[in-house]
């Protein structure tokens, strides 16, 4: 039996995680739900965003989801525990990959740079994670709110984005860093542009693969072969929903997913 797996984000960022799931489990059926009425979450208050998340989760459960992947670091940090206590289905969250990043650099004295939303970075969950794993104080974190805004506008112009990254990184000595963590699911849309600007020794990590591995374990999904027909028409098994219910929002999700597929992100 295929499962009805829901992916949830404030906007189109969670497609970066759904895309990874589609590549590995092309035969499951997916719901993608974006809170397009309220994106971005990362610049709003925790109480306000929590209310939005609960309303979306209700709508997703009504659609008949067998599991929910909270494909949003911000929503996970605010509400994953509450959601788990509210619903009897598996709820898979994600958090910035700080732990693997710190471990990767344990022996080379390099620092770790975490990009995530301001709201994620301000939460106790994130700060406890960093205190737990960063015993040598080698983690630096900051938010890139413009990337969420531009991503939602499907703005992927490499010249504009390169200039933005340059200005954000201008004060850092990049030689000191070993790993950059993309701790917001919108940011990996821009990984190829960032890759071109960083010194080769810096690795870029995001949480997509780890989250899909976790989903696989929780649901007991077996390895699936990608048949040619599924490869060509992967969208057939994804239903798109948004809090606005506007068809333009669904079109945007389709275009963004296609963008990820074409670039194998
Ligand atoms: N994609 C989200 C995350 O992973 C939230 C971005 C936003 O709405 O600000 O944190």
Written out in words, the top-level CATH class of the domain with range 4-94+209-263 is alpha beta
Q: Is 117 in the pocket of ligand 1 (CB under 6 A)?
A: yes
Read off the pLDDT of residues 211-244 as tens digits, 9 standing for 90 and up.
999 999 999 988 766 554 444 344 569 999 999 9
Q: Is 192 exposed, middle or buried (0-12, 13-18, 19+ CB in 10 A)?
A: middle
pLDDT the model gives residue 236:
60
What is the C-alpha separation between 180 and 197, in angstroms, rounded? 12
pLDDT the model gives residue 227:
53
4-94+209-263 and 98-207: identical CATH topology: yes
Residue 88 φ/ψ, nearest 5 degrees:
-90, 25
CA angle 244-246-249, nearest 5°?
Answer: 95
pLDDT the model gives residue 226:
58
- Whether 263 shows a pLDDT value over 50: the answer reads yes
Q: How far is the CA of 115 from the centre of ligand 1 (A)?
A: 11
Q: Taking the domains of the chain in order of start, what are their residue ranges? A: 4-94+209-263, 98-207
Retrieve residue 200's tokens: 């080769």
**What value does the mean pLDDT take over residues 85-99?**
97
Catalytic residues: 72, 184
What is the C-alpha separation between 208 and 236, in angstroms, rounded? 21
pTM, 2 dp: 0.94
Question: Which residues on adjacent β-strands are paired with residue 5?
Answer: 30, 67
Q: Is 206 in the pocket of ligand 1 (CB under 6 A)?
A: no
Read off the pLDDT of residues 110-162 as tens digits, 9 standing for 90 and up.
999 999 999 999 999 999 999 999 999 999 999 999 999 999 999 999 999 99
What is the C-alpha separation between 213 and 138, in angstroms, rounded? 27
SS3 category, 223: coil
Architecture of domain 98-207 in CATH? Answer: 3-Layer(aba) Sandwich (3.40)
Q: Is 186 in the pocket of ligand 1 (CB under 6 A)?
A: yes
The closest-lying atom of ligand 1 relative to the alpha carbon of residue 185 is 4
């Amino acid at each position: 039996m295929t499962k009805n797996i829901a992916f949830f984000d404030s906007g189109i960022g969670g497609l970066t995680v759904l895309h990874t799931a589609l590549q590995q489990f092309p035969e499951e059926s997916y719901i993608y739900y974006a809170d397009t009425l309220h994106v971005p979450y990362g610049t709003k208050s925790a109480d306000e965003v929590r209310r939005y998340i609960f309303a979306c989760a209700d709508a997703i459960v009504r659609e008949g989801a067998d599991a929910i992947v909270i494909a949003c670091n911000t929503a996970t940090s605010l509400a994953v525990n509450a959601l788990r206590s509210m619903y009897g289905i598996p709820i898979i969250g994600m958090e910035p990959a700080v732990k693997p990043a710190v471990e990767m650099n344990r022996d080379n004295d390099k620092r770790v740079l975490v990009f995530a939303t301001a709201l994620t970075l301000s939460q106790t969950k994130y700060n406890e994670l960093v205190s737990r794993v960063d015993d040598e104080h080698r983690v630096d974190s900051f938010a890139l709110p413009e990337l969420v805004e531009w991503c939602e506008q499907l703005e992927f112009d490499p010249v504009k984005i390169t200039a933005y990254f340059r200005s954000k990184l201008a004060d850092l000595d990049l030689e000191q860093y070993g790993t950059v963590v993309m701790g917001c699911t919108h940011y990996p849309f821009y990984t190829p542009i960032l890759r071109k600007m960083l010194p080769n020794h810096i690795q870029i990590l995001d949480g997509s693969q780890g989250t899909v591995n976790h989903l696989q374990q929780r649901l007991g999904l077996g390895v699936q072969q990608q048949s040619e027909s599924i490869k060509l028409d992967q969208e057939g098994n994804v239903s798109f929903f948004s809090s606005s219910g506007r068809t333009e929002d669904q079109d945007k999700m389709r275009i963004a997913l296609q963008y990820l597929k074409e670039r194998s992100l």
